[in-house]
Amino acid sequence: MKPDAVRGHLDGLILAVLEDGPRHGYAIIEALQARSGGRLDLPTGTVYPALRRLERAALLSGSWSTVGGRERRTYTLTRAGRHALAGQRADWTEFSTVVEAVLRPAAGMS
């Protein structure tokens, strides 16, 4: 999949992964891969800044911890984040409906 395609939808994808419970960045990237059947392989340079952005927007709260000698920043969905996720899901439904209505071949051409 061409990488740029997630543009505008990345936030929703990250929020959705965190709905299952807190995760750190690296684990979020792996969860995205797993859920997409390996088709979504986002570089760290995309995900980490996005997490910071979502934290600044108060949709996530992050906290440092040390696990096995390694620094981790674990992110948790805030209440606002949960609300934003619901909005993102609604946006996606509308968006995909619109795209399919336009993209689908014109009806009934023999």
Provide the minimum distance between the beta carbon of 70 and its own copies in the complex, in angstroms, as a whole number.
26
Q: Is residue 98 near its own copies by the rule CB under 8 A?
A: yes
Nearer to its own copies, 4 or 71 (CB): 4
Amino acid type, 90 = A
Nearest to 40 by CA among 93, 12, 4: 4
Q: Is residue 37 near DNA by the rule CB under 7 A?
A: no
Partner that binds at residue 24, options DNA, its own copies, none, CB closer than 5 to 8 Å by kind: DNA
Nearer to DNA, 53 or 82 (CB): 53
Q: Is residue 45 near DNA by the rule CB under 7 A?
A: yes
**Which residues here bind DNA, judged by CB under 7 A?**
3-4, 6-11, 24-27, 42-46, 48-53, 67-74
